[in-house]
Structure formats: C-alpha cells, structure tokens
Structure 1
Amino acid sequence: MKTICAAAILLLFGGGAGATDYFPPRGDRWATRTPSEEGIDAVKLRAAIDFAVAHEAKLSPELDGVIDQRDQRITIPLQFAKEPFSSPIGPLTPHAPANGLIVRHGYIVAEWGDTHAVDMTHSVTKTFLSSVAGVAFDRHMIRDVHDRVLDYVHPSPDFELPHNRPITWDQMLRQTSGWIGTMWGKPWWADRPGEHPWTELAAGPPAVGQQWKYSDVRVNALALALTYLWRQPLPEVLKQYVMDPIGASNTWHWENYDNAWVTIDGRRIPVPPGGGHWGGGMFISARDLARMGLLGLHNGRWGDKQIFSEQWVKMAKTPTPQNPEYGFMNWFLNTGRKLLPAAREDAVMFLGNGDNIVFIDYQHDLVAVVRWLDDSRKAEFVRLLEAALAR
C-alpha cells in the first residue's frame, strides 16, 4: 500500500490484469488494484478523497470544542430537537472519523479511514428495508407492488383507517402513501412537520399516492407490514437472502426501538426502523456497504446468482412521478442530472443522514462508499471523482 495523504488515505496495490465482474469472496480477501491499473488518475483520485476527509460533516461549526460532533447521542437529538415527539427510542452511538473506499470492476482501488468500523448508516437502512420487500416480490409473496397492503396483511388498527385502506406497496416504497397513524409513539404529523410543529396536523392528511414526503413514520409502517408479511424478524430475512449470499461480514446489526415489538404466531418479534431518526436502524461497515453497492451495480446479481430480479431493480430505479429524483427507498436517482451534475443520468445513490453515501456509477463500473461527508459537498465529491475517471 502507498500512503498518499496525512489522513491515512491509501491507494492500494495488488492484482494483475484480469476480467471484469470480479466479486469479492466472503471475508477480507478483497482483491485490490492500483488506480492506474483501473484507468484512474491517481492524483485526481487523491484530490477527491482528500476533499471527503477535509469536509467531514459537523452539526454546526459553533459546536467545535463544545461537544464531540461525532457523538450521535448528542448530535441526533439536537438535529431533530424542533420536532415534537423527537426523543430517541433506539440506540445512538459515536461514529468513526470519515472513511470510505472506491471500487472499480469489483476491485478496491482506494480506501481511507477505518472501513471496518460498524456505525449507524441512517437512511441507507431504507435501502435494506426495500431489499426485504424485493425478496418478497421475487418469491411471489407480493404478487404486484400495486396491490393494496391490506390485501396481504393487517399489521395494526391504523392500517384499517378509511384513509389508509387504499395504500399500495408501491406507494409505501416510494414514500407517496400519505399513511396516517402512530408508529411506536411517533405520530405521522410530527415527522419533519414544516414551519411549525403543528403544520401537518392542521393541514390534515395528504391524499393517498398524490404527495411525496420523506417520513420515517411511514417508512416504519412499511417495516411493520413487511414483518407481518414475513412473519419473522426482518434482519433474519436480510441475512439469509441478501447479506450472506453477497459475503457480508457478521458485524452488521439492524437495531429496533426499545418499544418496537410485536407478537406473531406466539413469537415476540422486533420490528426494525428504516433509519436512525429516533435511534436504531442499520449499523454496518463501509466494506459491507460496498458489497451492497456492487449488488446494485450489477442489477441484483452477485456472481452467478440473481439476489434480486432485474424486474425489481428496474422498478427501484424508476422515477417517482411526485419526485423524479427518487425511486424505491432509498434509491436516489440522478434524473435530469440534478442531484449529481457531473455524473451520467443513470447514476444512483443510496443516501443517509451523516452523510452516508453509496454511489453507483454504471458508466464506469464503479462504486464509492463515502461516510460522514457534509451533505452540501456530495455533488462536488462526485465531480472530483468523475474527473479522476476522465482519462
């Protein structure tokens, strides 16, 4: 390995010329190549990585020296303090310094920081949640995503409300459901409520399927519905059908809220959330996130096994009419090149607070995992990365 900056950024050496479509085996024996072997400008790549390290996210510069800005036990409650019902009900932990890796043709070409650190990944958890729905679809447990949820399960009395009865799986996956109710003590109107804490409460429920709204309450309602559909803990489903087949480590864990439990078939089952808004969600390393990115890069295929059908991935990447930059959760799309002007329109990001980023570049057969980058800097990071690829 060759040190290329004071922040312990590494450009990795190893491996000779070989075929594309390399899939790393289970464990840490992930083959590496130099940037030049993969047609990448090493100096420009270093500039992109230096940029990511230099722009690690902070809640506010005013808090420098006052709090540990990596301690999410402090920062997350402060970030959402203006919301009603904002108290955390799941685990929050400090996170590692900025870290990440760049993968091209399946090979690691650059790595920085502690990519084995198991940290919250916030709303990238939503990508894992929709993955569980994808497995259900491919196994014909969901026949059509445009079917009503109530045609399959009856998760709670709130799902039976007249307003909620028409809601489909597709609407829940796209965050257009307009679902109303309370999940684990958090009412629908209290999540990112607008100008005033009561703004959405006063406005009343949105029409089903007509409005896109990023809402962890509604995401958690989907998690509850999927738990009843599978009749087992969703982390078990994810491990069996996705994470083990792609060779992920055993270090990841999907944490539920303290009060998020249901009884199904006499078994007490945890219901994990789709993010870290109130704590919990997916705790995972950058290396395991990169495996998930490779799975997306190959449209659901890992080696000779199709983990998700191409039909499912195509739906996940189909723009939502109410928000064309969003597909299924949490596939952020580059429609019109608005999100990432320097990348091709078919580029995708799995994106979570922090920021936690899994960038998929189909044009260059590349995945980048970038953790704890200032949200306002993600487009510039991608611009710098794309410049390193333009040889």
Structure 2
Amino acid sequence: MKLHLITLLVLFGILNLQAQEYYFPERNVDWEVKSPENFKINSANLKEAVNFAEANEYSGSRDLRIAIVKGFEKEPFHKILGPTKKRGGPAGMILKKGYVVAQWGNTKRVDMTFSVTKSFLSTMAGLAEDEGIITNTKNLVGEYIWDGTFDGAHNSKITWEHLLQQNSAWSGELWGGKDWADRPPSNGDIDDWKLAIPKEPGTVMEYNDVRVNVLAYSLTHVWRKPMPLVLKEKIMDKIGASSTWRWFGYDNAWTEIDGLQMKSVTGGGHSGAGIFISTQDMARFGMLFLNNGKWKNERLISEGWIKKATTPSIPNANYGYMWWLNKKGARHWEGLSENIFYAAGFGGNFIIVDKENDVVVVTRWLEPSKVGEFMTKVNAAF
C-alpha cells in the first residue's frame, strides 16, 4: 500500500512538472529572461531579427490621429469618434516557453493596438459560449438580440459565427457608422456603394469595423455588462496583467441594459478607441493561447473554443474567429508553420502564437508588409 502511494506521488510530481513546462510571470514582477542558448536558439540570428524589427518602424506618423486620418482617407464620412494616443517607437518581445529570449523598445508603454482588439473581442464570445450565455456560435444572433439590430430578411440570417469570421454582410448603421462606408471597394463611388445588394451571410469575408462593433454591441447585451469588465474579471486579472490597459468605445456609443447606461466598445481603432495596452500585457494574452487556454493550471478558455477560433473560415482560409491563420492563401508566410495564428492591428501591432516552437512574439509598430520577413528571421534562429 505504501509503495503504491509513493508511485502515485511520483507520478503526480512528473505530471505536475509537465504542467509547469511553461513559465508564467506573476503580476508586477520583472519577466524572467533566459539566454537564447538555454533553448539552443541561435543568438546571432535572433539578434538579426530584432535589429530588423527596430530598423523597419511603421512609416506612418507617431501622432496616430494623423496616421488614422491618412490611412482611411478614402472612406466617406470618416471621423475620429473615440480616444487616440500618440505612439512610441518599435517595441517587442520574443518568448520561448514563456521566458524572454529577446526584447526591444519600451515594453511597458501603453499604446493603441487597433485590430488586435478583435482577438480580445472574439475571446469574449468564446467565454460566453463556454459559460452557456451563447449556446452555440451557429445560432442566429437575432434569437438573442431582438431590438431590431437583426431584423429583416437579410440581417435575420446572421449567426454569431458570421460576425466572428467577418463574413456577416450585416447591413445598417451603428454609432453613426454606415456598413457600406467602412472600407468601401476601390471601384465605384458613394451611390454604387449605397445601392449595392448585401452579399449572402457566410459567403464573403469583408473587413468592416461597423460590423465588428455590432458584435461588440451584441456581446454587451448578452453579458449584460461592459466588455472591459468581462475581460478584466475573466482574463486579465487572472493572467496577472497590469492595471494600465484600457478598452474604449466611441464617445457616443452608449446603450441601456437593465436600466444602466453602458459603453459599447469597439473592436478596432480606425476611428479611435479600441484596446490601449502594453507589449507585456499583450504577451501575457499570447501565452494564454499558447497554453491552450490555461494560465498555469487554471482553465480560463476551453480548448474547444481555441480550436474553433483558429479553424479557417470557408470564405477565407487565412481567417478564423478574428484570428489570422498562416494557412495557404493570400496572407501565407512561406516556409513557416501553417499552425501559426496571430492577432494583427493597424500600424504593425501583432501577437503571434507559434505552438510548434513554443513561441509567442509581440511586435509594436513594425511596418506591416515586413512582418512575414521578420518572422522568417525569427524562425531561422530556431
């Protein structure tokens, strides 16, 4: 009996060591740094990748109000509707099994992160499904949101999955933003865009912030609380994130739930707002996904959700539930693992998860067209 107990204890110890394979930093402590050589990483190649990131800063203005206006000048009626913030210089972290093997710039500085916010928003939907607030992402959103947002022959066909994969073709106006005016086609003019017949939900992926904000609005109503509060309680506090991150909505984006006025946040920052966050807090979020939804030994997100979120959509093999995927397609990084997935935002903000190498990479203000080349250099170090 005693021998059997000892065997069990030894086995438990082995399993526990396996569970602690990754390093998870505590709150308010300096992240543990290890030499690349500890993981048989080529330090010269890794340094070359870091130098490349520092040398290829996003070419837009550091005054992000200027960068936003210039970046979206083709959109009719485009305005800054929410908070913005002047940005810092290039910054980033490369983590191997949770340990810092390279970092550059000010990793504690809080900056706008633009469409990286979408991957956080997607996670709010995942938590809702995990907790049964949403039964299934295949459900029609109109079964949950009955205030007219999903009325009509077209919008009534839209599911949560359509919104998450950005192929909903939702038609309407929210917070003053018109769906047809957000990132319009390069051909035609306003009359063509206004009169275009909406595509069938689920058939064509269209990057569109108005429709993403409809998802944020809908999630706010099913959770019955603001999304920043859900994110803080369910994720950020539990992964030891700092108190410096913020999630904003547009100035006029107020909705009433249970007699309380709540701000409905945005899923990006191309009209201002979105998540403002440090590189280090982004890296913590990436580590949660590297470890299949667990922080240390605590399950925060189901593995089932992460699998769904990183499954290619039918209209776009490079896109899942608001995570970009390195599958064969227009955005494929040649020579790199097809299991890589990442959050991407305007101005070169990325959280990249490479499970095959046990790596998380965060970059800020890297020229977006250079990220594939940068990741090729990172991969060469391994």
Structures share a fold, TM > 0.5? yes
Task: Give, in angstroms, the shift of residue 157 of structure 1.
Answer: 2.5
* Alignment partner of 1:187 out of 161, 173, 178: 178
**Residue 118 of structure 1: aligned partner:** 110
Change (3 A) 1:286 1:197: farther
Identity %: 43
Q: List 4+ stretches of structure 1 deviating above 3 A.
A: none
Are positions 1:347 and 2:340 aligned together?
A: yes
**Quick one: which amino acid aligns to residue 23 of structure 2?**
Y
Task: Give, in angstroms, the shift of residue 267 of structure 1.
Answer: 0.6
Task: Give, in angstroms, the shift of residue 282 of structure 1.
Answer: 0.2
Distance 1:78 1:28 in 2: 39
Q: Is the 8 A contact 2:174 2:210 kept in 1?
A: yes
Distance 1:180 1:125 in 2: 22
* Alignment partner of 1:239 out of 224, 229, 232: 232
Distance 1:378 1:200 in 2: 32
Are positions 1:176 and 2:138 aligned together?
A: no
Per-residue CA deviations over 1:338-364 (Å, capped at 9, x if unaligned) read 521131110111111111011111111
The aligned runs of 1:1-391 (5 Å cut-off) are: 20-59=21-60, 69-154=61-146, 156-195=147-186, 196-198=188-190, 199-329=192-322, 331-336=323-328, 338-389=331-382
Task: Give, in angstroms, the shift of residue 50 of structure 1.
Answer: 0.5
Q: Is the 8 A contact 1:55 1:374 kept in 2?
A: yes
Q: Is the 8 A contact 1:300 1:307 kept in 2?
A: yes
Distance 2:302 2:154 in 1: 32
Q: Is the 8 A contact 1:82 1:197 kept in 2?
A: no
Distance 1:175 1:27 in 2: 36
Task: Give, in angstroms, the shift of residue 213 of structure 1.
Answer: 0.5
Q: Is the 8 A contact 1:181 1:187 kept in 2?
A: yes
Secondary structure of the 1:335 match is: coil
**Quick one: which amino acid aligns to residue 280 of structure 1?**
A
Q: Which moved more, 1:291-300 or 1:318-327?
A: 291-300
Distance 1:298 1:200 in 2: 43
Task: Give, in angstroms, the shift of residue 38 of structure 1.
Answer: 2.0
**Quick one: which amino acid aligns to residue 340 of structure 2?**
A
Q: Is the 8 A contact 1:83 1:197 kept in 2?
A: no
Secondary structure of the 1:268 match is: strand
Secondary structure of the 2:357 match is: coil
Task: Give, in angstroms, the shift of residue 287 of structure 1.
Answer: 0.3
Change (3 A) 1:384 1:212: same
Distance 1:149 1:321 in 2: 19
Task: Give, in angstroms, the shift of residue 294 of structure 1.
Answer: 0.6
Q: Which moved more, 1:157-166 or 1:74-83?
A: 157-166
Structure 1 unpaired stretches of 5+: 1-18, 60-68
Task: Give, in angstroms, the shift of residue 336 of structure 1.
Answer: 2.1
- Aligned CA RMSD, in angstroms, stands at 1.4
Secondary structure of the 1:358 match is: strand
Distance 2:353 2:336 in 1: 10
Distance 1:142 1:311 in 2: 14
Change (3 A) 1:197 1:234: farther
Q: Is the 8 A contact 1:32 1:107 kept in 2?
A: yes
Distance 1:111 1:342 in 2: 24
TM-score w.r.t. structure 2 length?
Answer: 0.92
Distance 1:57 1:116 in 2: 19
**Quick one: which amino acid aligns to residue 215 of structure 2?**
L
Per-residue CA deviations over 1:323-349 (Å, capped at 9, x if unaligned) read 0000001x1001127521131110111
Change (3 A) 1:86 1:115: same
Task: Give, in angstroms, the shift of residue 26 of structure 1.
Answer: 1.3
Change (3 A) 1:74 1:360: same
Task: Give, in angstroms, the shift of residue 200 of structure 1.
Answer: 3.0
Q: Is the 8 A contact 1:158 1:180 kept in 2?
A: no
Q: Is the 8 A contact 1:158 1:182 kept in 2?
A: no
TM-score w.r.t. structure 1 length?
Answer: 0.90
Q: Is the 8 A contact 2:179 2:210 kept in 1?
A: yes
Per-residue CA deviations over 1:294-326 (Å, capped at 9, x if unaligned) read 111111111111111000000001100100000
Distance 2:102 2:25 in 1: 15
Q: Is the 8 A contact 2:203 2:314 kept in 1?
A: no
